[in-house]
Homo-oligomer: A and B are copies of this chain.
Amino acid sequence: MGKEGIRYAAKVSFDKPAAEQEVLHNRWHPDVPSIGTIKNGEVVKIECVDWTGGQIGNNDSADDVRDVDLTKIHYLTGPFEIETAEPGDVLLVEIQDVQPMEDQPWGFTGIFTKENGGGFLDELYPKAAKAIWDFEGIFCSSRHIPGVRFAGLIHPGILGCAPSPEVLATWNKREGELIQACSHMDRIVAQPPNPQNVHAGSASSEIKEKVGKEGARTIPGRPEHGGNCDIKNLSRGSKVYLPVHVKGAKFSVGDLHFSQGDGEISFCGAIEMAGVITLKFTVMKGAVKELDMKSPIYIPGPVEPQFGPGRYIYFEGFSVDEHGKQHYMDATVAYRQTCMRAIEYLRRFGYDDYQIYLLLSCAPVQGHLAGLVDIPNACTTMGVPMDIFDFDISPHVKAEKKDLGSCAFASS
């Protein structure tokens, strides 16, 4: 080994629509046909398109973000048959490397409109916006958010094994019940199976129809298999332990991120990119029971960007919302407040709020559940690394408003 280069288990095309490529699919379903076999113990490279399948361009308008078709996203590469893997096994996936495509050294962070996708702060920031990021080796910077530059905490947003029919039924039932229970709310709370724009790889039309009707949408991560976890620290060198639910595991991966902050708050909040991931697969026989595993576990890699604890500025938020209403131990409300505190702080330097919202989504900010027991206030914190800025953002330095341009907005 090592003499010729690592085998590509799948290559994608950037000249052909994602929907037409047999190595891609966009639903979780056990019947999506495998696109290849990987040996137990093998290391392979896998190419991935960006999660919108190329809907977003390297330009200065957020029209494409505003108009994104959310039924045409999350094209995953796979599924792969892992030799010897069976239900009850754990698939150990080691993320040996993640790289952008060499000839596409850029990515994007977007804010969806409140009507089409939304995000964590969409009540406050309902408009579409976008930042394009240029990659220079391990670093990225954006013409839409001047004054920052940082090393990527590069990782896959989505990876997981296919659900069994039983697991899939559980998902559809419990998410369907939520949709019903929340029918009075004015927002979409979950995405049920939807045949529109389903892509099931090389599946026959019959199978494709089945996948469209039953297949789980890729938006949420789910406890049984992981999926779209969007965990920023699943970066180079990480080991992820995934439960296997079907014979051969049927592993898929996609939605590569050059960087992301805890929470990925703007939804399209990571630095989304096309790229290639190098993975090693090892089957741990019977380990679901052995590890008493109900959800994936992971061990981060050793090469995360390091700033030193004293180089973060931390903001605190509590479960009292922006209208002054007290919520009971609600960490989601608390983190939203935490984000707002960071935005208020950073806007003093000349950024507009949308720029900061984009930045907090994609820069390696640390979001912590600080205190969850002091009734009625959950307390969460967000640490923003000071060294990603090329000026000093310390509290003891007087902030000067600079001309920091603008992110891309949609035409009106």
Give chain A's interface residues, CB within 8 Å of chain B: 1-6, 43, 58, 90, 92, 95-97, 102-106, 119-120, 132-139, 151, 170, 174-175, 177-178, 182, 188-191, 219-223, 226, 228-233, 236-237, 241, 262-267, 269, 278, 280, 284, 287, 290-318, 320, 324-332, 335, 337, 341, 344-345, 347-348, 366-381, 383, 387, 392, 394-396, 398-399
A175 touches B326 (CB 8 A): yes
Which 3 residue pairs are nearest across A and B when measured between Cβ atoms?
A: A96-B137, A97-B137, A2-B134
Residues of B within 8 A of A398 (CB): 290
Docked CA distance A152–B369 (Å): 19
* Contacting pair A236 B138 (CB below 8 A): yes
| Cα A228 to Cα B318 with chains together (Å) | 11
**With contact pairs A2-B134, A332-B329, A337-B295 given, residues A264 and B373 touching in the complex (Cβ less than 8 Å):** yes
- Assembly CA distance A66 to B237 (angstroms): 35
Q: Which of B190, B295, B347 touches A326 (beta carbons < 8 Å)?
A: B190
CA separation between A394 and B221, bound complex, in Å?
24
Partner of A318, one of B6, B262, B295, B337: B295
Tally of this chain's copies:
4
Query: Known contacts being A4-B103, A332-B378, A375-B219, is A139 close to B96, with CB within 8 Å?
Result: yes
Q: How far is the CA of A267 from the CA of B371 in the complex (A)?
A: 9
Closest to A348 in B: B292
A178-B376, A308-B306, A331-B335 given; A223·B318 CB < 8 A: yes
CB distance from A39 to the nearest CB of B (A): 14
Contact assessment for A368 and B314 in the assembled complex, using a CB-CB cutoff below 8 Å: no
From residue A76, how far is it (CB to closest CB) to chain B in Å?
Answer: 14
Q: State which of B190, B328, B374 has its C-beta within 8 Å of the C-beta of A230.
A: B374
Contacts of A381 in B (CB 8 A): 231, 233
Q: List 23 A-B contacts (CB under 8 A).
A: A2-B105, A2-B106, A3-B58, A43-B136, A43-B137, A137-B237, A190-B376, A221-B318, A222-B320, A231-B314, A231-B371, A241-B395, A263-B371, A267-B373, A267-B374, A269-B373, A292-B344, A297-B395, A299-B312, A306-B309, A307-B308, A331-B335, A368-B369
